[in-house]
Amino acid sequence: MWVLTFMLGISILIAIYYKMNHTDSFAVKGTVDTEESTVGSRGVFPLNGEWEFYWGQLLEPEDFKNGVGAPSYMVVPGSWRKDIYGQKYPEYGCATYRLTLTNVHPGVIYGIKKQSIRIASKIYVNGKLLIQSGVVSDSVKGEDMGNTPGAAYFQADAEKIEIIIQVSSHKIFGGGIAESIYFGDQQEITSFFAKNIVHDMLPIAFSFGVAAVYLIIVLLIPGYYKKEKASVFFPMGAASLALINGTIGERIVKYILPGISAEALLNLESVVICMGILSVMMTVYHLDKKFISTLFRNLVLLTQGLFALLYMVLPAETPGIRTLFIIIDLLTLFVIEYRVFYLYIKRTALGITGIEHGLLVLVLYFIDVYCIDQMVFTRGLIGNDRMSLISSVLYIFVWVFLLTYRYHAMFKKNEELTVALLESNYNMERISNHAERSEIAFLQAQIKPHFLFNSLNSILGLCYTNPSKASELLWHLAEFLKSAFDIDTTSEFIMIESELESIRSYVFIEKTRFGKRLEVEMDIEDSLKQQRIVPLLIQPLVENAIRHGALKREEGGKVRLSIQKEEGFGVVAVYDNGPGFSPNSRTRLDRKTGNTGTEREGVGVGNIKKRLMHHYGEELHIEEQEEGVKVWFRFHLEEEDGHGKGSNCG
């Protein structure tokens, strides 16, 4: 299917190509009758056809008055390779063209529009020099390259106009009047000239505009150039093509750089061609490295870099070397295109999709059209290079479509990955929350056997000595066990008052067991009792302060629990007047955070640290006091709507 599509595309382009390059011929044996219907019906018409041709001579208007030999006839536009009789001429040399227009209107101001005459020329109209481009000469030393488009105006003083054009081309092969010479009245020629400039400016502006936009995209989208390295070289290619187009046709570059010489313009064009080939090669290389090997890439980088340097210093009198460079450039493009076409035909599995591969084939096809059109035009086989401009626009357009398609695919893939990542994070959060609730449930249910055994023994003993006290102790044990086993694993937060009830029951049991050896104080700000907090943050700290602090003293000790509001935070602090840290644990005190990794932490403190950081982003602080230890942390207070600032509650 792709073969038929490809052939159809070629057929359509050939038809358009022929239509755009086919022009009528008006000159017959060096004469144009302007009253003929085919001429008179046109405002501006090309002076195409058979011009008088004098090879190897640079004839002045006076020479024709004195008489010259019989002319040959050369078809214009075209190179001087062969006249209408089949006589062949050298690629390099000089010649004079002559055309006579009859039946013009005296007194009317006419204009003549010159396009491309390679490579230096003088145009005389009725014996007066109107346009000069470069310096014509019968030798290479005297020639100065020109070939700049232009227009000139004159008033007809008779019914006949004589046009004489001297042409020399000793430095560039294929001399002659490459493009049509146009004739018409002043207003029409002026309008025609302006339209030509606009016509040539549009594809140049389009190419530069696309290059600028893509360069901005590459610079502004974070990480885009790393993911799509082909996009980095595309702006260089688009800008190179714009500059190349600026050196052909109306030579737009000459309007931007009016002082640039024709030789410098030729060198600029050659350097830009090197840049263009490099951009094509690097763009294709980064689309998929199976297209081009690293060795070939490095070889092209070396040769094109060397060519660019040589072009900047080579004089124009080295056409042989320039021709060799052009052949190498064409071979480079051929190798790239062969690999891309071959892998496309073979349907080789690549890192790009079939659509992207097909678009790349189309891109390279338009490069071929551009190059072929320029070569055919240079040889004088066609009268203009409009197809080059059209194919350059199509080349840029398909590149943009290809890279945009890849960016869209990349964006879609990133979007899918983002959704998958969000789903994964959501699932991980659910698993994490479930695990945390399970861990809390485990901590709640972690009743030490000896604690339960000792509590029951105390109750049993009191049953004989103080039954009412035994009953009260049994009630507190039941409340404590209720808080331990009545687990709501679906809730992440509880009221501070609920945890305080569990703490009071635990403290009552321990005070009953140890009597005056244990003293516990609570200083709780009333407004904080209804605040919600992550469960089991306070009770384990009180338990550790009793077990590892106060009760480590033979005479007993004191524990104080404080919950106050400070600087917009709730602050929980547990103090004990126990023996503090042992010498070994003291050396492990973290001076930056005040946290330790010691035996004083007891069961559950590591879990408290983790949950504090997860829910509040806060640390658990363990500080050695002058007497005993202080353990404290901050938590975010809930606002009036019930949602804690910075917490996950609600």
Count the Cβ atoms, other than its own, within 10 Å of residue 36: 12
What CATH number is attached to the domain comprising 575? 3.30.565.10
What CATH number is attached to the domain comprising 99? 2.60.120.260
Residues 372 and 252 in one domain: yes
Residue 522: predicted pLDDT: 94
Residues 52 and 174 in one domain: yes
Residues 185 and 267 in one domain: no
Q: Whole-angstrom Cα distance, residue 287 to residue 330?
A: 21
Mean pLDDT of the chain: 81
The answer to whether position 200 is within a domain reads no
Range of the domain at 33: 25-192
Residues 149 and 230 in one domain: no
64, 279, 394 from 233: Cα distances, Å: 56, 5, 18
More confident residue, 146 or 586: 146
Residues 186 and 238 in one domain: no
The answer to whether position 297 is within a domain reads yes
pLDDT at 591 over 60: no
Cis bond upstream, residue 579 (ω within 30): no
Asked if 226 and 172 count as a contact pair (C-beta separation under 8 A), the reply is no
The answer to whether position 590 is within a domain reads yes
Chain-centroid distance of CA 578 in Å reads 65
The answer to whether position 252 is within a domain reads yes
Predicted confidence band of residue 470 (pLDDT cuts 50, 70, 90): confident
Burial 139-170 (b: 16+ CB within 10 A, else e): eeeebbbbbbbbbbebebeeeebebbbbbbbb
Please tell me the total count of domains within the chain. 3
| Residue-wise pLDDT tens digits, 359-394 | 888 888 888 888 888 877 766 566 667 778 888 888
The domain boundary residue, chosen from 417, 440, 469: 417
Residues 239 and 365 in one domain: yes
Residue 485: predicted pLDDT: 59
Residues 188 and 227 in one domain: no
Residues 94 and 227 in one domain: no
The answer to whether position 640 is within a domain reads yes
Q: In the predicted model, what is the mean pLDDT of residues 291-298? A: 92
For residue 111, give both structure tokens: 């204009």
The answer to whether position 614 is within a domain reads yes
| Residue-wise pLDDT tens digits, 428-442 | 666 556 555 555 555
> Both ends of the chain: CA-CA distance in Å?
62
The domain boundary residue, chosen from 398, 417, 436: 417
Residues 277 and 129 in one domain: no
Residues 188 and 290 in one domain: no
More confident residue, 296 or 374: 296
The domain boundary residue, chosen from 397, 417, 437: 417
The answer to whether position 259 is within a domain reads yes
The answer to whether position 97 is within a domain reads yes
Residues 622 and 564 in one domain: yes
Residue 520: predicted pLDDT: 94
Residues in the chain: 650
Predicted confidence band of residue 611 (pLDDT cuts 50, 70, 90): confident
Predicted confidence band of residue 96 (pLDDT cuts 50, 70, 90): very high
Q: What Rg do the C-alpha atoms of the chain give, in angstroms? A: 47
Residue 198: predicted pLDDT: 85
Q: In the predicted model, what is the mean pLDDT of residues 107-122? A: 91
Q: Whole-angstrom Cα distance, residue 432 to residue 430?
A: 5
